[in-house]
Structure formats: C-alpha cells, structure tokens
C-alpha cells in the first residue's frame, strides 16, 4: 500500500492538497485566494456588547460581522473571584477564531488561545499538559505521560500531545514545544504594541498547514509542483522533523500533478450531491441550515437471498463511503444518516461498528450515537473551516441557493401585480417598470390587454423595459405622481348632476352694475336676515342656467331655505299674503330650531350687498338718496316641499292663489322666481 501527499500550488488563485492511497483519494483540502480561511487566526478585539441572557459577548475583531464569544470560552483572567465575568463594553481582549463566518452568522471566538504544532498543541492559558483522547492505547498513553513530565515548560503555558507525536522521542517533542513557545512570545509582544481591532497572528501558508495537519508517518512521499511552496515546506520540516526532509520532492514533469494520478474525476464527485456505490446503490448528501442529511438508497443493488441481506450489504458499503465523504468534503455540525431499514439488530450493530472504525481515520472530533428504530444515525463532527462547496462555489443569483427558480409565467404575474398595486392607488400619472428581458417580453405580449385596461381605468401610462443583466425575479419600479390625485377627480365626476350650479346669464338694465365673475360674485356662504351664516351646499359648483324641472324630494334643499323662500314670497305680496298653513308653520318652526352649519369659507358682510331675500324697497327720499343696488348673482335651489293638504282659508281674508311650487307639488319655474326677486328690488 503506497500512500502519497500531493500539493498543487502552481496557480495563485487556487491551491489544493490531496492524499492518495493506491490511487484512491482519501484526503482533500482546498484554498481559494478570494476566500482565505480565518480559522486559527488570532485577533485583538474590542468588546462591543455583553448579553447576560445569551451568556455571551459580541467582539469587534475587524471582520465584516462582530464575532460571538461565549462566556464559557472566556479565560479565567477575565473572571472575578465570585465567578462573574468582568468583561465590559470597550474592553480589549485577545481572541482566536474557532469557526468561519457564515452567511447568517458571525465568527465563533474563544479567548483560550491554542497554537498547533507538528506534534504538540500549545495552550498559553493553561498550566496543565495532557495527551490527545484519540490515543486510546494505555501503553502509549503511559509512555507519553512520562515524556511530558520531562519537558520543561514555562509558567501558565501547557500543551497537548497530538496523535502525530505518539511515536516521537523526547527531543522531537521538546523541539516542537520550543518553536511554539517562541511564537507565543512574539504574539504577546505584537498584541501589546497594536491598537484594537487588528490581526495579530495569521495561520501558516497552505503548504506548511497541509504538512502540519495531514502528514502521518505512513506517508512515503510528498510531491510539490510549486518551487516557492516547496521551499516553505522544506523549511518547516527542517525545523520540526528534519529526518523527513528526504521524502519531500519537487515535481518537475510537464503533465499536471493531479492528472498524473487520475484525481480530477474523483475530485469532481466531491461537488455533487450524489455518490455512487460499487454495489449499485448510491448516497444523496444534502446540506441544510440546521443539519446535513445523508440518504442511503439500494438503487440497482440487490442480492438473491432476501431484502434484509440487500439492505445489510448496502449499509456496510455506505458506512465506509460516508466516513470518506465527510473527510473529503469537510462536513461539520449535526449530521443525520438515513440507513436502509434492517430488521435484525445484529446487522445494526455491525453497521455501527464498521462506521465507527471508518471514522477513526478522521482528524476532526466526532460524537456518535446509535441507529434508532427509524433507521437514523446521528453524529456531530467538528467544523474547522468552510466546506468544499462553500469555498469553491458562490451562490446563484437566480435561485439564491435553492436550486430552482420561478417559472416565466409566475415571475411575469408577480411583476404585473406589483404594477397593478401601484396603479390602483390613483395618485400616479406614470409607472416605469424594469424587469428581466424575458419577463418584459411576456408582459408586453401576453399581458398587453390587462396593462391597457389599467391605463384607461386610472388615466395613466405604464412603461415596461427589459434588462438582460437583472436577476430572474428582480424588478425595479419607478412612479411619477400626478398633480391632482385621480381619486379626487373621480369623486368630482361622480357627483349627482342635479347638484351642479352655475352663473345665470340674463339681460339686465343698463343702469345696473355689471355682474362680477362667478368666482367673485358667488361667495361660498352668505348672511341670513337674522345675522346667521347661510351655508352654500358642499361640493356644488356655479350655476349653469336653469334648474331641472322635476326634482324629487331629498335633493339637498334644506327646510330652512324653504322657509325663507316662503317668507320672501309673503313679503313681496305685502299685507295681502295669506297666513301660513299649519303644515308650513310646522316647517318654519323646525327650520328655526335647526342649527346652522358654518362654511369653511367666510366673507365679511357688505352693507351695500343685498341679501337673497330682502324686504320690499322703500321709495327713496331727497334727504337720503339710496344708491342703486348692486346686481348679485343668486343661487337657485330647487325647492321641494312635501305635498300638503289644501290650505284652509282664514275667515275675513281674501282668497289668494297658492304660488307654484308651494304646497301643490308643482315646481315653480326658477326664472319666474328670479324675475320676482328682481322686481322686488326695483320697487
């Protein structure tokens, strides 16, 4: 069995590392220049906020999002004797990145600094030293414990022996400890001289990090295709493991390094959600926000014996492949595996045992459960950096990571509804919509009738333009507000035609003054005889001529106005006018009791301006000449009075004809009424 480490670093944009065992890819790591990993970096940050409810603090370390620092990961130096945290906003603190920044979450921080070496992990804030839990053999642990006690350490600095240092000598472990100790002193010195927030320590170069984290004693050869990376790897190996220098080689062949070992096809499978098994079954790996789900399917795989045997053999093969895919893809967090259901409990135990053995090769910390009665197995894997997909891929702007996008019809209808929502408001004269080109073509061809209906109904225009560079379901809307809201115009048009009024154009004597314009001659309100305000009907315009001949009751004429008109007719007739009937007397009393509504517009009373219903003019005398009265445009109200019984003649009074429109139900001609008013003014 031949095991090799291949480092491909000829391209600055992308650097890759692969470990091959007899032509099969067993480990893989990648780094993109546009997204360099920050896990392991040490920063000097500022505490922005301490949330006691979350038992955490938010620290500004210089990233695009504040880091999340749980109080359990705060070193003992930041706690009082009572066990309470002494962190305060504005305090400076040295932190290390434990987890990369995700799309929705900031980086996970800790104040317990750890510096990984080739064989040891330095712990500056801990005094005790220990051995990795992955070293389970009791004899190895006993031997390493004796070596650890012989290594001289500084105060408040401890370390942990890694699995790579299991078979190493005391001199090799001490050399690694000294290297890490010098590095920690440099970090402390730089932190004291640098203002927060700032980067204090950055992880090693890609080649050095690959050698530090992935190199094992069973690797027989290390091939590097980049001279600079080759120099960095040899320099690091010379400092920590000089005896391994001979296996580090520079590849000088013209053919690409990974093509020579047929790795490109195997790497391509890492980015797919489906992984085929040799038996004919397959895996479906689906990362989600909460967890990663892995589904095992039998596919074409079958055994002649029975279904139980088919499920067992497929699950055994899947267990080994799942452990391999976890390492290759560097999947972390909560992982749920849906194995094929097996009825025999012995088969479940064997699958669990095989899966646990396959996971023993993993560098990450793993917590494993048992297969439940539903065929599900749960595990938690340490997430050290972003997944391979997150490093290599960017989110699709059209589907936003969902893998699907809305159909053309759905997208076009969504854009049309946005236009319709703005149009029905009635306050815009034009709407300009910018949508993707295909959506614009669909709206202009398939929805042209609906858009034209909107334009006609709301007296507006709709402009639709297409942009080929826009995201599929994106739309931009621009509106132009009209000067007069369409809603008010519509309300004005919908008013009853019988409420319309206008100026009366009539021939007047030459001695009288010219009729002023309607806007000046007709005030919104006038003065009544008793000094009260006479309100013009709300929403009525100027008189347009004659009133309609037949006006039904309820046209807006108040009973007060009817009473004033009756009184005006009686005054014009002098003392020969009949007394009001019982019905008319009741109407007059009701009108007097009714409160007057004040108009919003007022005008000062004019002495020389006659009222609508004035008393008969007295003949002027020589001592007091009376100037000719000004001509005034009079509002004509279609008066409607309920039909009453014939007026009872009062004994001793001459019979008087009931005027038209008074008690007979026959409306009086408005021109006749106006003529009577002018005759009274002339007299």
Core vs surface per residue 462-488: b (16+ CB within 10 A) or e: bebebeeebebbbbeeebeebeeebee
What is each CA distance from 199 to 28, 44, 93, 206, in whole angstroms? Answer: 28, 6, 12, 18
Token pair of 131 as six digits: 């051995």
Bond before 197 cis per omega within 30 degrees: yes
pLDDT in tens, 33-59: 777 788 889 999 999 998 888 888 999
d(CA 32, CA 11): 10
pLDDT in tens, 466-501: 998 888 888 899 999 988 655 555 554 444 344 444
For residues 380-406, give the mean pLDDT.
79
89-93, 319-323, 663-667: which has the minimum mean pLDDT?
Answer: 663-667
Residue 483's pLDDT is: 82
- The more confident residue out of 260 and 594 is 260
Q: What percent of the chain has pLDDT over 70?
A: 70
What is each CA distance from 159 to 3, 132, 183, 441, 592, in whole angstroms? Answer: 30, 10, 14, 67, 103
Taking all residues of the chain, what is their mean pLDDT, rounded to a whole number?
A: 76
Token pair of 227 as six digits: 């001279």
> Is residue 526 scored above 60 in pLDDT?
no
d(CA 158, CA 124): 6
Core vs surface per residue 422-431: b (16+ CB within 10 A) or e: bbeebbbeeb
Residue 396's pLDDT is: 80
- The more confident residue out of 405 and 444 is 444
- The more confident residue out of 253 and 85 is 253
Residue 150's closest CA among 159, 163, 138, 162? Answer: 159
> Is residue 462 scored above 90 in pLDDT?
yes
Residue 565's pLDDT is: 55
Token pair of 633 as six digits: 């445009």
For residues 5-32, give the mean pLDDT.
90
- The more confident residue out of 552 and 354 is 354
Residue 514's pLDDT is: 41
Residue 365 gets which letter from DSSP?
A: -
d(CA 184, CA 123): 10
Query: Are the beta carbons of 2 and 220 closer than 8 angstroms?
Result: yes
Give the highest mean pLDDT range of 89-93, 151-155, 497-501.
89-93
> Is residue 380 scored above 70 in pLDDT?
yes
> Is residue 118 scored above 80 in pLDDT?
yes
In which band, very low, low, confident or very high, does the pLDDT at 153 lie, cut at 50, 70 and 90?
Answer: confident
pLDDT in tens, 579-616: 444 445 544 454 444 544 444 444 444 444 444 444 44
Residue 40 CB: number of other CB atoms within 10 A? 18
Residue 154's pLDDT is: 80
For residues 415-437, give the mean pLDDT.
93
Query: Are the beta carbons of 641 and 562 closer than 8 angstroms?
Result: yes
Bridge partners (DSSP) listed for residue 32: 14, 35
- The more confident residue out of 540 and 107 is 107
Residue 217 CB: number of other CB atoms within 10 A? 12
Exposed/middle/buried for residue 262 (C-beta within 10 Å: 0-12, 13-18, 19+): exposed
Which residue matches tokens 């320590």?
A: 201
d(CA 683, CA 681): 5
> Is residue 258 scored above 70 in pLDDT?
yes
> Is residue 342 scored above 50 in pLDDT?
yes
> Is residue 127 scored above 90 in pLDDT?
no
Residue 29's closest CA among 150, 284, 203? Answer: 203
Which residue matches tokens 């002649």?
A: 304
Give the highest mean pLDDT range of 333-347, 393-407, 494-508, 549-563.
333-347
Give the highest mean pLDDT range of 99-103, 152-156, 349-353, 669-673.
349-353
Collapsed DSSP state (helix, strand, coil) of residue 424 = coil
For residues 290-294, give the mean pLDDT.
92
> Is residue 672 scored above 70 in pLDDT?
yes
> Is residue 10 scored above 80 in pLDDT?
yes
> Is residue 644 scored above 70 in pLDDT?
no
Residue 683's pLDDT is: 61
Residue 336 gets which letter from DSSP?
A: E
The HSE-up count of residue 628 (CA atoms within 13 Å, CB side) is: 11
Residue 464's pLDDT is: 94
In which band, very low, low, confident or very high, does the pLDDT at 1 lie, cut at 50, 70 and 90?
Answer: low
Residue 36 gets which letter from DSSP?
A: -
> Is residue 102 scored above 70 in pLDDT?
yes
DSSP characters over 133-188: TT---HHHHHHHHHHHHHS---TT-EEEE-GGGTT--HHHHHHHHHHHHHHHHHHH
> Is residue 166 scored above 60 in pLDDT?
yes
């Amino acid at each position: 069995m031949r095991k090799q480490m291949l480092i491909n670093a000829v391209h600055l944009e992308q650097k890759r590392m692969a470990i091959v065992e007899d032509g099969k890819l067993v480990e893989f790591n990648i780094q993109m220049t546009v997204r360099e990993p920050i896990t392991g970096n040490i920063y000097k940050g500022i505490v922005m906020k301490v949330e006691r409810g979350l038992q955490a603090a938010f620290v500004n370390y210089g990233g695009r999002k504040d880091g999340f620092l749980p109080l359990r990961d705060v070193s003992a130096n930041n706690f009082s004797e009572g066990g309470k945290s002494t962190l305060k906003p504005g305090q400076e603190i040295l932190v290390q990145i434990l987890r990369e920044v995700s799309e929705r979450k900031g980086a996970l921080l800790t104040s317990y600094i750890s510096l990984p070496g080739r064989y040891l992990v330095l712990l500056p804030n801990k005094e005790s030293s220990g051995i990795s839990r992955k070293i389970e053999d009791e004899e190895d642990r006993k031997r390493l414990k004796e070596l650890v006690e012989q290594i001289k350490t500084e105060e408040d600095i401890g370390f942990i022996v890694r699995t790579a240092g299991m078979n190493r000598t005391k001199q090799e472990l001490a050399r690694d400890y000294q290297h890490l100790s010098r590095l920690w002193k440099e970090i402390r010195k730089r932190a004291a001289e640098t203002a927060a927030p700032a980067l204090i320590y950055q992880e090693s170069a890609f080649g050095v990090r690959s050698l530090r984290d992935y190199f094992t004693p069973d690797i027989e050869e290390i091939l590097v295709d980049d001279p600079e990376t080759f120099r960095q790897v040899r320099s690091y190996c010379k400092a920590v493991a000089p005896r391994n220098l001979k296996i580090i080689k520079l590849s000088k062949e013209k053919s690409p390094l990974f093509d020579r070992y047929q790795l490109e096809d195997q790497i391509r499978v890492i980015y797919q959600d489906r992984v085929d098994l040799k038996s004919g079954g397959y895996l479906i790996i689906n990362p989600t926000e909460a967890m990663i789900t892995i589904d095992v399917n039998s596919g074409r795989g079958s055994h002649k014996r029975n279904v139980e045997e088919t499920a067992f053999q497929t699950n055994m093969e899947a267990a080994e492949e799942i452990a391999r895919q976890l390492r290759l893809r560097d999947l972390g967090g909560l992982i749920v595996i849906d194995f094929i259901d097996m009825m025999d409990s012995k088969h479940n135990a064997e699958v669990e045992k095989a899966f646990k053995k396959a996971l023993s090769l993993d560098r990450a910390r793993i917590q494993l459960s048992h297969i439940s009665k539903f065929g599900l197995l749960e595990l938690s894997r340490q997430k050290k950096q972003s997944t391979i997909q997150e490093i290599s891929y960017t989110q699709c702007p059209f589907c936003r990571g969902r893998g699907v996008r809305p159909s053309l019809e759905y997208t076009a209808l969504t854009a049309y509804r946005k236009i319709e929502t703005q149009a029905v408001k009635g306050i815009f004269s034009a709407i300009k919509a910018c949508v993707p080109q295909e959506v614009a073509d669909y709206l202009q061809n398939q929805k042209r009738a609906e858009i034209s209906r909107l334009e006609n109904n709301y007296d507006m225009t709709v402009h639709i333009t297409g942009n080929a560079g826009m995201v599929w379901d994106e739309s931009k809307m621009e509106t132009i507000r009209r000067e007069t809201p369409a809603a008010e115009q519509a309300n004005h048009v919908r008013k009853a035609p019988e409420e319309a009024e206008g100026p009366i154009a009539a021939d007047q004597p030459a001695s009288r003054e010219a009729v002023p314009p309607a806007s000046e001659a007709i005030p919104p309100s006038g003065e009544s005889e008793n000094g009260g305000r006479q309100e013009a009907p709300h929403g009525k315009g100027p008189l347009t001529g004659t009133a309609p001949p037949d006006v039904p009751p309820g046209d807006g004429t108040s009973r007060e106005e009817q009473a004033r008109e009756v009184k005006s007719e009686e005054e014009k007739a002098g003392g020969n006018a009949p007394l009001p009937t019982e019905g008319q007397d009741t109407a007059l009393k009701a009108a007097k009791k009714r409160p007057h509504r004040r108009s919003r517009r007022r005008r000062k009373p004019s002495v020389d301006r006659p009222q609508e219903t004035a008393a008969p003019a007295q003949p002027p005398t020589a001592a007091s000449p009376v100037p000719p009265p000004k001509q005034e445009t009079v509002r004509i109200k279609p008066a409607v009075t309920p039909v009453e019984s014939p007026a009872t003649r009062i004994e001793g009074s001459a019979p008087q004809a009931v005027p038209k429109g008074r008690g007979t139900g026959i409306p009086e001609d408005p021109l006749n009424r106006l003529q009577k008013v002018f005759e009274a003014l002339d007299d």
